Structure 1
């Protein structure tokens, strides 16, 4: 029971805000859909992507995502479940968009790490795990696709332990080998939870809870093996310890098949039982903002084009403290200017509804908030600034021009919008001029998204001309003249004012550093070295 609708402490205790992270194709969007299905907020899952005549998942709203069958943008879904409020943030499914995933991880209290039963830990999973470790985000692991042939369960646990240093503490254990998924042994109760397939996994899979002796009689050797392996885990200190989990030393493990909706209900229950509620949030001055302090929020994402009818722009803000009330006037920490919140919405995939109140852990969509950028802090009464969210070091560069010079106004508006959202970084110089800015990206698919959106949202098809650079370093105004004189090096200004020197390769960078040791050539946060970013 919670006290009153306006009590931020009791309301925060009911919130669970988490992200789903994994390597591409491990089933993130399918799991997102299955969780919403189990919470009864949708009636039928559209888990098959990119097939003619099939629906995309509710979180993949962009045309390009549906065509590719991957998540490019992150999406926020909020729903109620057993008296709790679940804020689920889906994340991009491609490594080229890891910067967007990093932003989402700045807004959550826990993460669900999805591991493919056949492939185990993969590079993108490892990279994102490091972000979670650095940010102190506790991780629940879901070994997915157990309905397909895959690796041995104990072998997968051993890989998690040796490669990322987390002690796996399974809460469920599969009955039946990978490819023969009959159900799970609930290691906390000793009972057997048997799953039954539904047509295409489109509806919630029926579950039966059976006593151990009934399971032994009906499942035979498969049950016996599961019990023996569970006992081995207990002997190896593999039982859940809440304190160790919250300290980031262990990871509870569940076995599932998201596409069949097997094990998804268990994940929702586990999130309610053990995932942390919103807590005091660290601030730039080394303190922490208590959840019952006056309202504050962090903008972690800006997105346009979600509503094709209105062409509006939404800034997603995670409530960090206090109570949000639609219409309240908040202060933008960066400019100290007031900001009215008349148009506040809750977002569920593509669907939106007016949001009147929100509490710590909730995500508020602020519509047409032109003044807001990723990393901005909002507050009322007591000033606060949360740590900024850094931009990554770009590794791909291309000049962008409008195909039709008569549509320059649309071109400029589109480029500014993509820059504000952080879809790509935009670099400019007096030499190149406003009509030919440089797009800078972590991965080449960002160019594809930028080009697609320029044509389809802003009615300005573009031409992209790749540039021969692969490295960027931050420099300062007094060093520009020297760098401009170096062949094959170019200095451009980013939207946030940073001066970036671009180099074709590491050899040229080293050579310039040798010849001009006094130059400032400061490394940027690298996507391959995410943990550096957290305190940047």
Structure 2
């Protein structure tokens, strides 16, 4: 039996969880439809998901269509949980993008389709809610073509649009208009069909249908189906398209093991459960499975249990092969995003969405145990790596990074429900970044001057193109000293750059190691190791922050804040009231575009001001304003540069740094 790993993606409230329920019902996996509104949806298992009626964590269910086993992954639609969606993208064979026939193309819809097309993931479009008043068909189809992709074609029509009796009829060979539209679309990617189109020689319908499947599997075109997840209208046509138009999983079960972990859960006894897609090979219980997050020092875990998804349930198996989504127990050191197996997964997909741009301090309740809070937050960060924790040992505070206010509520509820810890939060602040203004260099030489460490480190910092991140290069020969010392320098450089001159993460820079030196291992006559005469990796880890920050100080840095792109629809009568508010919020709007009695305004606004605009818009527009926003880029901060308190030993203050580090070194019994 073939396998299809399918993602369901949508803007929040478009109906993707309801569609998941309908697919399971149609396949005979469940006997009764669950409801998002009353909290009985099968994939919304968290208490908060049931209370809020939204998906927060991705969930996997399965069903069979003909000879294809479909592993369906329901993903969150709210932009605060975009990190969950990102992790799923790397394990999909295909996707269904759900669009509401009533609300139309929304902000998250555009973000998701842009990424799906960029990654070339074969995608079908399902226009849901055709039974609701206000549902659109032709107008929405034009909007999708203009705002999502021109490579879309409707695969059927709707009768009784906007009523409970809405019916969806698929197009077929007997519909000449459909064949003509199909030929016109497919000819854009096929020279043979283009010749037939220009010469008005329409090919046979089976030829068009076969080419539709081929181009859909390549992510070039996107068949669109109208329907209703609530009534079931149009769903049988979508189910048929899953097996006809989307590609099945590939990979050899007799090859080397290769997979990717996309989700981590904790079992009832606290054990880690890893959700992974297997691209090749076979994993068996009691196998020792390499975890490739720490190359070249790989880690291993012993597989103690394997579960696969079978007709809606997770079933225990002694082994699982290529193409499957599995749950594995026993990989204690595994993290989200880790490759597993003896070879790396094919075509690993880099991060597609912007990192969180907000941060808040978690304040424990009066009776909360700070140690228990730290452990709980660490487990949450383990399940969602983008909830980055920052600890301030001086203030005894823990900060978490977030996408939005709803995510803050989820963290608060999860800590209360799962860990029994009550917390509140400080005011949310914006996360800035730093970039080097120019170039700078610094050097510390072994056994010279005030250098107390047995190592020579020289570093140069140079600006790099925006979006390039941090690159480390060697300007000295690799054989000049042991590789572990070079690796210690590189790892420390990357760690140190998490806090720049103003306390923000430094990005878009090139760091070159210009000098190196060490003392080889020395021993006394009786053969014991003498630390006072021998360099260790610790010397380089302790020295590198001083050298790097001295070089960065010479280069100087610029603080940049996140800026969102926005799309704002306001009634024409409210435009005059909205415009000055945009100015006060430091937004830069473009020329307004009149659309009947509504103005469309697009532009940019600092991320820190988006929440203010959201709060003020209803009163300015009598509730008729519609705002969409998404991360656009980083831009230099206007005015004084904001700072963030440091949480390290502060290598910018040499005296204080050495006092703290050397005290720690001596307490470890390794002073020299």
TM over 0.5: yes
Name the SS for the 1:358 alignment partner. strand
Q: 1:31 is matched with which residue: 16, 19, 38?
A: 19
Q: Calculate the aligned-residue CA RMSD, in Å.
A: 3.9
2 CA distance for matches of 1:32 and 1:497? 45
Are residues 146 and 477 of structure 1, via their aligned partners in 2, closer, same or farther at CA, if it must alter by over 3 Å?
Answer: farther
Whether contact under 8 Å (1:22, 1:125) holds in the other structure is yes
Q: What are the residue-to-residue correspondences of 1:341-490 with 2, within 5 Å?
A: 341-346=303-308, 352-367=314-329, 369-380=331-342, 382=343, 387=348, 390=351, 392-404=354-366, 407-422=369-384, 425-432=387-394, 435-473=396-434
1 CA distance for matches of 2:344 and 2:126? 39
In the TM superposition, residue 518 of structure 1 has moved relative to its aligned partner by: 3.5
Are residues 520 and 405 of structure 1, via their aligned partners in 2, closer, same or farther at CA, if it must alter by over 3 Å?
Answer: farther
In the TM superposition, residue 245 of structure 1 has moved relative to its aligned partner by: 1.9
Residue in structure 2 matched with residue 216 of structure 1 by the alignment: none
Are residues 348 and 150 of structure 1, via their aligned partners in 2, closer, same or farther at CA, if it must alter by over 3 Å?
Answer: farther
1 CA distance for matches of 2:327 and 2:346? 20
Residue in structure 1 matched with residue 40 of structure 2 by the alignment: 56
In the TM superposition, residue 497 of structure 1 has moved relative to its aligned partner by: 7.7
Whether contact under 8 Å (1:322, 1:359) holds in the other structure is yes
Name the SS for the 1:437 alignment partner. strand
Structure 2 alignment gaps of length 5 or more: 187-207, 443-491, 505-552, 565-628, 635-672
Q: What are the residue-to-residue correspondences of 1:54-203 with 2, within 5 Å?
A: 55-179=39-163, 181-188=165-172, 190=174
Are residues 34 and 322 of structure 1, via their aligned partners in 2, closer, same or farther at CA, if it must alter by over 3 Å?
Answer: same
1 CA distance for matches of 2:151 and 2:344? 40
1 CA distance for matches of 2:313 and 2:371? 30
Whether contact under 8 Å (1:471, 1:504) holds in the other structure is no
Whether contact under 8 Å (2:156, 2:225) holds in the other structure is yes
2 CA distance for matches of 1:497 and 1:85? 47
Whether contact under 8 Å (1:59, 1:350) holds in the other structure is no
Residue in structure 2 matched with residue 315 of structure 1 by the alignment: 274
**Relative CO higher for 1 or 2, CA cutoff 8 Å, sep ≥ 6?**
1
Name the SS for the 2:315 alignment partner. strand
2 CA distance for matches of 1:471 and 1:358? 44
In the TM superposition, residue 150 of structure 1 has moved relative to its aligned partner by: 3.5
In the TM superposition, residue 19 of structure 1 has moved relative to its aligned partner by: 0.6
Q: Normalising by structure 2, what TM-score?
A: 0.59
Q: How many residues align?
A: 446
In the TM superposition, residue 328 of structure 1 has moved relative to its aligned partner by: 2.1
2 CA distance for matches of 1:58 and 1:524? 37
Residue in structure 2 matched with residue 8 of structure 1 by the alignment: none
1 CA distance for matches of 2:341 and 2:335? 15
1 CA distance for matches of 2:341 and 2:227? 41
Name the SS for the 2:5 alignment partner. strand
Q: 2:557 is matched with which residue: 519, 522, 526?
A: 519
Residue in structure 2 matched with residue 204 of structure 1 by the alignment: none
1 CA distance for matches of 2:441 and 2:387? 23
Deviations 1:182-230 (A, max 9, x none): 533332355xxxxxxxxxxxxxxxxxxxxxxxxxxxxxxxxxxxx6874
Q: Looking at CA atoms only, which structure, 1 or 2, has the larger radius of gyration? A: 2
Structure 1 alignment gaps of length 5 or more: 1-10, 191-226, 281-289, 480-492, 506-514
In the TM superposition, residue 108 of structure 1 has moved relative to its aligned partner by: 0.5
Residue in structure 1 matched with residue 288 of structure 2 by the alignment: 329
Deviations 1:365-406 (A, max 9, x none): 1236431111100014x5668636548422221111322466
Are residues 412 and 129 of structure 1, via their aligned partners in 2, closer, same or farther at CA, if it must alter by over 3 Å?
Answer: same
Residue in structure 1 matched with residue 520 of structure 2 by the alignment: none
1 CA distance for matches of 2:166 and 2:424? 53
Deviations 1:244-303 (A, max 9, x none): 3233221111111101122222222211111012246xxxxxxxxx77631211011223
